[in-house]
């Protein structure tokens, strides 16, 4: 790895464990490849929970995270060839951004999180494992194709799964990810198994952000996929600590948003109100098994 900014040291504890020790609030590392095998662990140690590491993969191959990835800070992982979190992977961090879009080093250093460099190929960010974001943290997956079939937890946090090529990240506002105007997906997107995906954003797993916000968004041209968003799993943003949750599925103006799973922004405990759920697209299909709950404890 090459350190492009900040102060970083690497401690290979044993053949299975790598500690990346960052002593500045921000750092940029370019990696030729970034993979964690099933029995391996990589830990990023940072000065504080608000510290950020940007790790960029430059070697032209996708990243496989099959082991354990942890940090007390925020990680931004960039790989234009895609990132796969395998079914036995475990991620526990304060914040995670995984994307195929790139950012200029100076923009990152100055806090202008404008991921303005689109990938040359349409690849995916896929989670099949377990991702835990510490309380009030954030998770953003942005790529031409995004899929969660695992578990994502971010209590009081913000979760964004978005299909696009460029975007701006807002770490402090209500809207975590704003897709760029030049972000539209115009061609087929290839998944980790080498075949075209049928949805640009898919959640067949479970997403939990009680007291927080969950956003699924797409910018796509017509006829690229069968449906722009396929939500056949669970998204839960129930009221927590008097903060109601919000779930937004935004399919854009070209394509089908299909819901066969559960969207739950209810307030289940005494005196709680329900939250807010919005499902929008050119076409919206709420099918037989779809369940949408914004009920309150009355």
Q: For the residues 70-93, what does the mean pLDDT come to?
A: 99
Rounded-to-integer distance, Cα 286 and Cα 251, Å? 14
What would the pLDDT profile of 201-236 be if each residue is shown by its tens digit?
999 999 999 999 999 999 888 888 989 999 999 999
pLDDT reading at 174 higher than 80: no
Q: For the residues 97-113, what does the mean pLDDT come to?
A: 99
Phi and psi (nearest 5°) for 284?
-125, 130
We report the CATH number of the domain holding residue 276 as: 2.160.20.10
Q: What percent of the chain has pLDDT over 90?
A: 90
Q: For the residues 100-123, what does the mean pLDDT come to?
A: 98
> CA quadruple 115, 224, 130, 134: dihedral positive or negative?
positive
Rounded-to-integer distance, Cα 208 and Cα 20, Å? 29
Tokens standing for residue 111: 């806090």
Tokens standing for residue 218: 């797409």
Rounded-to-integer distance, Cα 294 and Cα 272, Å? 11
- Number of separate domains in the chain: 1
Q: Is residue 141 part of a domain?
A: yes
Q: Is residue 49 part of a domain?
A: no
Per-residue pLDDT at 270? 85
Per-residue pLDDT at 20? 99
Q: Is residue 10 part of a domain?
A: no
Q: Is residue 153 part of a domain?
A: yes
pLDDT reading at 90 higher than 80: yes
Tokens standing for residue 98: 């995984």
Per-residue pLDDT at 182? 82
Q: Is residue 21 part of a domain?
A: no
Q: Is residue 35 part of a domain?
A: no
What is the extent of the structural domain holding 101?
54-293
Per-residue pLDDT at 19? 99
Cβ–Cβ < 8 Å for 252, 218: yes
Rounded-to-integer distance, Cα 232 and Cα 230, Å? 6
**What is the pTM (predicted TM-score) of this model?**
0.97
Rounded-to-integer distance, Cα 201 and Cα 65, Å? 20
Placement of tokens 């990243």 in the chain:
63
**Element at 294 (helix H, strand E):** none
Tokens standing for residue 265: 């922004």
Q: Is residue 42 part of a domain?
A: no
Q: How far is CA 189 from CA 51, 194, 241, 256, in A?
A: 33, 9, 40, 16
Per-residue pLDDT at 269? 86
Closest CA to 1 of 32, 24, 25: 32
- Which is more confidently placed, 241 or 3? 3
Rounded-to-integer distance, Cα 179 and Cα 142, Å? 9
Per-residue pLDDT at 298? 65
Q: For the residues 149-175, what does the mean pLDDT come to?
A: 95
CB atoms within 10 A of CB 18: 16
3-state secondary structure of 107: helix
Tokens standing for residue 278: 């919005």
Q: For the residues 172-181, what does the mean pLDDT come to?
A: 88
Q: For the residues 97-119, what does the mean pLDDT come to?
A: 98
Q: Is residue 188 part of a domain?
A: yes
Q: For the residues 272-291, what does the mean pLDDT come to?
A: 95
- Residue 185 DSSP class: B
Strands ordered across the beta sheet of 124-127? 63-65, 83-85, 124-127, 145-148, 199-203, 227-231, 256-259, 283-286
What would the pLDDT profile of 30-58 be if each residue is shown by its tens digit?
999 999 999 999 999 999 999 999 999 99
């Amino acid at each position: 790895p090459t350190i492009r900014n900040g102060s970083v040291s690497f401690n290979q504890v044993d053949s299975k464990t790598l500690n990346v020790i960052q002593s500045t609030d921000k750092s940029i590392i370019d990696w030729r490849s970034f993979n964690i095998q099933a029995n391996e662990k990589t830990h990023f140690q940072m000065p504080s929970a608000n510290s950020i590491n940007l790790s960029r993969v430059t070697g032209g191959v996708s990243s496989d995270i099959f082991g354990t990835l942890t940090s007390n800070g925020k990680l931004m992982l960039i790989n234009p060839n895609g990132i796969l979190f395998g079914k036995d992977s475990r991620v526990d961090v304060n914040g995670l951004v995984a994307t195929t879009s790139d950012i200029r080093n100076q923009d990152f250093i100055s806090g202008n999180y404008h991921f303005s460099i689109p990938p040359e190929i349409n690849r995916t960010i896929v989670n099949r494992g377990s991702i835990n974001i510490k309380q009030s943290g954030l998770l953003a997956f942005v790529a031409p194709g995004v899929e969660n079939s695992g578990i994502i937890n971010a209590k009081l946090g913000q979760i964004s799964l978005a299909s696009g090529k460029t975007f701006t990240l807002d770490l402090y506002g209500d809207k975590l990810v704003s897709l760029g105007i030049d972000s539209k997906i115009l061609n087929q997107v290839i998944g980790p198994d080498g075949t075209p995906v049928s949805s640009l954003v898919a959640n067949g797993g479970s997403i939990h952000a009680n007291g927080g916000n969950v956003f699924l968004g797409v910018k796509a041209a017509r006829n690229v996929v069968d449906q722009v968003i396929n939500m056949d799993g669970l998204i839960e943003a129930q009221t927590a600590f008097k903060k109601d949750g919000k779930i937004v599925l935004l399919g854009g103006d070209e394509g089908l948003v299909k819901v066969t799973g559960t969207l739950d922004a209810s307030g289940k405990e005494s005196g709680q109100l329900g939250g807010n759920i919005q499902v929008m697209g050119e076409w919206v299909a709420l099918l037989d098994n779809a369940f949408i709950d914004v009920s309150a404890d009355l």
